[in-house]
């Protein structure tokens, strides 16, 4: 074949090549993403973050739709009066933001492990408490502690992004440091 060098010209479609992730991000109309200090600021009415992991800034392989809620931290003082005195006002005055975030495989596995640890840890601890409380009360008390601690550890492991403040128009999000540093100050 004259004029065609099979060693230097790549084939047009390589069906055996591994899939690539498109990291070019174009915000939708009206989407403003910028950084303020240690937070990423997005629209509270719905935002889609760039297709990078919000923890480590690697290309995202999974997308999650997160509904985040926030209320002023002073409302926690109502817990000293009672749980109902806190819950009712907190549910009434809380603000909501909807954000689509990306996760890499590693942080998606960590999130799934946290969910599994929280649920299974609680259920196994409950079963051990029921089975051993009469015969071995010390073991039962230890696993009662596990019924509280393991779901908390699972929630912390499963959390990928959190809201530090939400108002009627914007949400301030806490993300991983590498992702935060990739967002420049001002409008994205």
Please provide the DSSP assignment of 76-126 as one string.
Answer: GGGGGT-HHHHHHHHHHH-EEEEEEEEE-HHHHHHHHHHHHHHHHHHHHHH
Q: Strand order of the sheet with strand 162-166?
A: 34-36, 39-43, 170-174, 162-166
Q: Please indicate, yes or no, whether the overall pTM of this predicted structure exceeds 0.75.
A: no
Q: Read off the pLDDT of residues 110-161 as tens digits, 9 standing for 90 and up.
A: 999 999 999 999 999 999 999 988 888 888 888 999 999 999 999 999 999 9
**What's the CA gap between 108 and 149, in Å, rounded?**
22
- What was the pLDDT predicted at 135? 87
Q: What is the mean pLDDT of residues 42-48?
A: 90
Phi, psi for 10 (deg, rounded to 5): -75, 150
Percent residues over pLDDT 90 in the chain: 66
Question: Structure tokens of 172?
Answer: 């301030």
Residue found by looking up tokens 């946290």 in the block: 114
Percent residues over pLDDT 70 in the chain: 81
Which residues partner with 4 through β-bridges? none
Q: What is the mean pLDDT of residues 157-176?
A: 94
Q: Read off the pLDDT of residues 78-116 as tens digits, 9 standing for 90 and up.
A: 999 999 999 999 999 999 999 999 999 999 999 999 999
Furthest C-alpha separation in the chain: 88
- What was the pLDDT predicted at 184? 73
**What's the CA gap between 125 and 28, in Å, rounded?**
46
**What is the bridge-based pairing of β-strands 95-103 and 47-53?**
parallel
Question: Structure tokens of 153?
Answer: 């550890």
Dihedral, CA of residue 118, residue 120, residue 124 and residue 127, to nearest 10: 100
- What was the pLDDT predicted at 32? 76
For the cut 90, the answer to whether the pLDDT of residue 174 exceeds it is: yes
Phi, psi for 27 (deg, rounded to 5): -60, 145
Phi, psi for 38 (deg, rounded to 5): -100, 20
Q: For residues 95 and 18, which has the higher predicted lDDT (pLDDT)?
A: 95
**What's the CA gap between 23 and 91, in Å, rounded?**
38
Kindly indicate the confidence band of residue 164, based on its pLDDT and cuts at 50, 70 and 90. very high
**What's the CA gap between 60 and 48, in Å, rounded?**
13
For the cut 50, the answer to whether the pLDDT of residue 25 exceeds it is: no
Question: Structure tokens of 10?
Answer: 């790549």
- What was the pLDDT predicted at 183? 85
Q: What is the mean pLDDT of residues 23-27?
A: 45
């Amino acid at each position: 074949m004259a004029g065609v060098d099979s060693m230097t010209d790549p084939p047009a479609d390589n069906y055996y090549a591994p899939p690539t992730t498109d990291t070019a991000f174009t915000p939708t109309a009206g989407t403003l993403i910028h950084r303020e200090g240690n937070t990423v600021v997005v629209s509270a009415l719905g935002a889609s973050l760039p297709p990078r992991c919000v923890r480590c800034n690697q290309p995202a392989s999974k997308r999650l739709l997160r509904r985040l809620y926030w209320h002023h931290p002073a409302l926690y003082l109502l817990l000293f009066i009672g749980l109902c005195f806190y819950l009712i006002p907190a549910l009434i005055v809380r603000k909501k933001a909807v954000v689509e975030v990306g996760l890499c495989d590693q942080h998606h596995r960590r999130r799934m492990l946290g969910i599994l640890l929280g649920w299974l840890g609680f259920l196994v601890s409950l079963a051990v408490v029921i089975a051993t409380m009469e015969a071995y009360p010390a073991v039962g008390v230890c696993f009662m502690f596990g019924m509280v601690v393991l779901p908390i550890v699972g929630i912390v492991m499963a959390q990928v992004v959190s809201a530090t403040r939400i108002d009627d128009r914007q949400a301030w999000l806490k993300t991983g440091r590498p992702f935060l540093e990739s967002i420049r100050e001002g409008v994205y």
